[in-house]
Amino acid sequence: MKIKRISAKKILNSKEKPAIELTVSTTNGKFKASAPAGVSRGIKEVQYFPSNSVDKAVEIVKKNFNNWLKKITISNIHDFEKLETKLKEHDKSDNWKNIGGNTVIALEFALLRALSKGEPWKYLNPDAYSVPTPLGNCIGGGSHAKNQLSTDFQEYLLIPQAETFTDCMFANNYAYQKLQTVLKKFDPNFKSTIDDESAWITSMSNTKTLKILQKTLEKVSNELGFQIKIGVDVAASEYWTGKFYHYKNPERKITKEKQLDFMERVSKRFDIFYLEDPLQQKDFDGFAKLRKSTKSIICGDDLTVSHVSLLKKAIKKESINAILVKPNQVGSLYETINLVELAKTKGIMPIISHRGNETMDSMIADLAVGLELPYIKCGIKGKERIAKLKRLQEIEKKIQD
């Protein structure tokens, strides 16, 4: 497949902030893709745009990409390494600060669509037989609920144990609606407002929120006939000061040792199935202690930011048994695939994820199936989240047919 032309434009993401969309014309046809942005971000994430400007990124694509990449032929997935090597001739930084990681990811997503003629999942995995379980964000706080009194934990996740993706999607929607009624009853400040990912914002404390969620899910699980487990994205780095963890609801400051003890107690008391970023992003040893002392899946996000080098460190330290995969964190589809392969060989569960500031692009759904990932975080409500869910429903139907 040969690249004929590349163009770019500025669009708006789910928070009406600028994002980039690229269109590629190839010998396989014309395809487009866009890249999301994170709200809470790890310190090792690549830079999204040059000079943090989408306009600058669009200008670079329009002025240079057709010349830089005009001799590139994409014949298979391994040619993306060749593509990235060519781009790095013009951006010698280690974090895409001159071109932008989001620019690269949007380009690669569009090219993968072109290479696969619109079916990336099937191209990557012709024998695909299953669709991942969705992790649905039902209650949100922290950085996702800016300027509002909220729970400190960033996400409270629903993890349904149904047999089909469609049943899982229904369960998450049903529980989400039930929670609205319950929160109205138990939280006098609840106004049915939503956060960056369309999750409910409650003013209750972390533990009270978990208690309400646990009781609600017990009832919903009995009604549906299958269990919905609890996941939590603590996003602990967001309130780590360098000396202690500073909680605001209720107001308190605790040491790293007490944070570790708190996470152990939360995991056991509320039977947490999945626990993401329970400690700050440099505490590989603390993660390792927690992984050994709880039954929860301990997942790294800010800890590893989709970088192979950081995953290798986590493997050496035995810090995690799951890793969140966000292609735009590393600005490389090729490294994303290598990350997933490495995680699998070491018994670490890769979980692909959306971002707080999302677009309508649904590529992570195709990647989840194509790379045979067991779980996907893509939200429950909001058109940008639903775009991923609907794509997974489409894929499930094609697999079943």
pLDDT tens digits for 46-95? 999 999 999 999 999 999 999 999 888 999 999 999 999 999 999 999 99
Q: Is 197 a catalytic residue?
A: yes
Residue 247's pLDDT band (cuts 50, 70, 90):
very high
pLDDT band at 42 (very low <50, low <70, confident <90, very high): confident
Tell me, yes or no, if 326 is annotated catalytic. yes
Is pTM beyond 0.85 here?
A: yes
- Active-site residue, from 21, 45, 197, 384: 197
Q: Has residue 146 got a pLDDT over 90?
A: no
CA distance 109 to 366: 10
Cβ pair 369, 393 in contact under 8 A: no
Domains and CATH numbers, the chain: 3-118 (3.30.390.10), 124-400 (3.20.20.120)
Banded pLDDT at 258 (limits 50, 70, 90): very high
pLDDT per residue as tens digits for the range 279-294 = 999 999 999 999 999 9
Q: What is the DSSP string of 61-123?
A: IIIIIHHHTTT-B--STTHHHHHHHHHHTT--SSS-TTT-HHHHHHHHHHHHHHHTTT-HHHH
Tell which residue, 63, 62, 48, 60, has the closest CA to residue 18.
48
With cut-offs at 50, 70 and 90, classify the pLDDT of residue 45: very high
Q: Residue 145: which pLDDT band, with cuts at 50, 70 and 90?
A: confident
Other Cβ atoms within 10 Å of 292 Cβ, number: 9
Please, which pLDDT band fits residue 144 given cuts at 50, 70 and 90? confident
What value does the mean pLDDT take over residues 106-111? Answer: 98
Averaged pLDDT, 351-355: 97
Per-residue DSSP letter, 240: B
Is the pLDDT at 154 greater than 90? The verdict is: yes
206 pLDDT exceeds 80? Answer: yes
Tokens of 147: 């300027």
Residue 353 has pLDDT above 80, yes or no: yes
CA angle 54, 11, 106 (to 5 degrees): 70
Q: Which residues contact 289 (CB under 8 A, 6 or more apart)?
A: 260
Q: What share of the chain is helix, strand, coil (3-state, %, to 5)?
A: 45, 20, 35
Question: pLDDT > 90: what percent of the chain?
Answer: 95
Beta strand 349-353 pairing with 322-325: parallel
pLDDT given for residue 71 in this prediction? 81
Taking only the tens place, the pLDDT of each residue in 2-38 is 999 999 999 999 999 999 999 999 999 999 999 999 9
Q: State the catalytic residue, choosing from 44, 122, 326, 381.
A: 326
Which pair of structure tokens corresponds to residue 246?
A: 């500073």
Task: Tell me what the pLDDT averaged over the chain comes to.
Answer: 96
pLDDT higher than 80, residue 40: no
Q: Answer yes or no: is pLDDT of 152 > 80.
A: yes
